[in-house]
A and B are shown apart, each in its own frame.
Chain A
């Protein structure tokens, strides 16, 4: 692939601006129960049905930490190549809100469970490393519902107390595309690890986006604004675009940018100041006296490290080496763990390179069309491998293979059976082919003469005739060889 150049800038009247973006991703930890209580975390329950006395902050209720959530945070930290802190502390972040029953969120402020790490992005202009500042565990809030009653807000605490990992990036991102790639990469890593399902529709992955701009070449960062709780990549990109342009306009008009929290309005496609959060900046963090410092034994960390699955970056390298794929193909095939598993199963039973081409082509197109995922693909990896192998062995041509593929999708039948029953096997007997070709050449003497006189373009015509006569089953390679031989004679 040819390398493109990075080109995302905001052009103002007085110059060209670079957009500086940092993300605070809130990833819901995959666990059965909540961070500090035994309520279920399952999505979609009836309102307030997954709420304990702890989640609703009744007097005298106390938190007890879920060991699995701690392990999940450590696994994620390891997956981000980050430093795991043997000592971390839970703090209280104090603010009032209807869906925050305790009046504080238990979070980690000064001493997070995971320190600095990094994530590698594959961009068209090369690979780029994005720094991770930290990862910490915290409680999710409940949900305020504003549209069920004109005069009131309804509060549902099902989400209250579910464990989140807040993953804070360094301000290393420079464009909406990089944000897209970063979120997808984080999501891939966490899905490989099984620490977050990454489902943005259900709110398992949300982000606060910090945006600032500066003139190209400036060393210092501009004043940043934080756009709260954006829940899709598309909206994140739109919000960044809008916010960067807003800030450039302010600067060019000689106005100050207020460091503030803003909300992305998905109806108007713009960001606006969140007044309700204005005086909430003073969170009065302090160590939660209901909890003790979390001390992790090195052995636990080492054991978790040993049990980590192969991660996408490593798998990609292996795919390139082991299967002879190019970087692009490897990237696509490791983007989801299920895809890579499928590919490996196919590759084991068939041609590795051809399997990649066919998966990324026809299989993905079909899944996309039908709105399916690889794990509910109508074609099993074993059948798909058989199809690839039939092409590779010359049993069927690529064109026939496409027909077989279609039938496989519709009938769920195995490719061998389809090829047999429909007589789709390729004609690869040289004698039979020679007979067929001689017949065509004798019928088209004038064209043979023209060819011999130098009109070599007619070669394609003869191939077409062979295919027509054979019902598309003539082995193309053999056809070519025999045609060339006979036309010479």
Chain B
């Protein structure tokens, strides 16, 4: 399968990455060569193979229902590029 520019732009949109128009061509070329490489997998018949969900053969470990975290607003907000005393601040969202 080959990836065209439109598809790449769509995927970039999904990934929230703006793509420089000037770079689309080289990106298309690179991604197509990578996918050509990846698609070697099609040689293999895997119809009867169970997909691997986890490399560890154990069940999910759980924790007790205790309040052990939170109340660290300063730490949470400290690194934010835009914030006030209480909130993270982002450009206006229109729903």
Do the two chains touch directly in the complex (Cβ atoms below 8 Å apart)?
Answer: yes
A117-152 with Cβ < 8 A to chain B:
144-146, 148-152
* Residues of chain B with a CB closer than 8 A to A38's CB: 63, 66-70
In the complex, which of the residues B14, B61, B87 contacts A64, with contact meaning CB atoms closer than 8 Å?
A: B61
Knowing A47-B86, A50-B71 are in contact, say whether A153-B64 is a contact too (CB < 8 A): no
Q: Counting CB contacts under 8 A, is B42 at the interface?
A: no
Chain A interface: which of B20-28, B31-39, B51-59?
B51-59
Determine how close the nearest CB of chain A comes to the CB of B94; give it in whole angstroms. Answer: 7
Whether the pair B60, A295 counts as a contact (CB closer than 8 A) is yes
**B95: nearest residue on chain A (CB-CB)?**
A276
* Residues of chain A with a CB closer than 8 A to B16's CB: 96
Determine how close the nearest CB of chain B comes to the CB of A300; give it in whole angstroms. Answer: 11
* Residues of chain A with a CB closer than 8 A to B93's CB: 98, 144, 146, 153, 276
Whether the pair A48, B86 counts as a contact (CB closer than 8 A) is yes
* Residues of chain B with a CB closer than 8 A to A263's CB: 95
In the complex, which of the residues B62, B71, B92 contacts A153, with contact meaning CB atoms closer than 8 Å?
A: B92
Q: Please, what's the 1-or-0 string for A366-401, where 1 marks a CB less than 8 Å from any CB in chain B? A: 000000000000000000000000000000000000
A55, A144, A145, A294: most-surrounded residue (chain B CB, <10 A)? A144
In the complex, which of the residues B59, B68, B71, B73 contacts A295, with contact meaning CB atoms closer than 8 Å?
A: B59
Determine how close the nearest CB of chain A comes to the CB of B65; give it in whole angstroms. Answer: 3
* Residues of chain B with a CB closer than 8 A to A471's CB: none
In the complex, which of the residues B63, B86, B91 contacts A46, with contact meaning CB atoms closer than 8 Å?
A: B86
| Distance of A282 Cα from B65 Cα, bound (Å) | 33
Whether the pair A31, B59 counts as a contact (CB closer than 8 A) is no
Determine how close the nearest CB of chain A comes to the CB of B66; give it in whole angstroms. Answer: 6
Knowing A66-B63, A287-B53, A294-B59 are in contact, say whether A145-B70 is a contact too (CB < 8 A): no
Determine how close the nearest CB of chain A comes to the CB of B54; give it in whole angstroms. Answer: 5
Whether the pair A152, B70 counts as a contact (CB closer than 8 A) is no
Q: Counting CB contacts under 8 A, is B76 at the interface?
A: yes
Determine how close the nearest CB of chain A comes to the CB of B11; give it in whole angstroms. Answer: 9
**A36: nearest residue on chain B (CB-CB)?**
B63
Whether the pair B90, A98 counts as a contact (CB closer than 8 A) is yes
| Distance of A276 Cα from B92 Cα, bound (Å) | 12
Whether the pair B90, A155 counts as a contact (CB closer than 8 A) is yes
Q: Please, what's the 1-or-0 string for A287-321, where 1 marks a CB less than 8 Å from any CB in chain B? A: 10101111100000000000000000000000000
Q: Counting CB contacts under 8 A, is B77 at the interface?
A: yes
Q: Counting CB contacts under 8 A, is A65 at the interface?
A: yes
In the complex, which of the residues A48, A52, A287, A291 contacts B87, with contact meaning CB atoms closer than 8 Å?
A: A48
**B88: nearest residue on chain A (CB-CB)?**
A155
A39-53 with Cβ < 8 A to chain B:
39-40, 46-53
Residues of chain B having any CB pair with chain A under 8 Å: 13-14, 16, 53-54, 56, 58-73, 75-77, 82, 84, 86-95
Which 7 residue pairs of A and B lie closest in terms of their CB atoms, listed nearest first? Answer: A38-B68, A68-B65, A38-B69, A39-B70, A67-B62, A52-B69, A154-B87
A selection of 7 A-B contacts at a CB cut-off of 8 Å is A32-B66, A48-B76, A53-B75, A67-B65, A152-B92, A155-B87, A293-B54
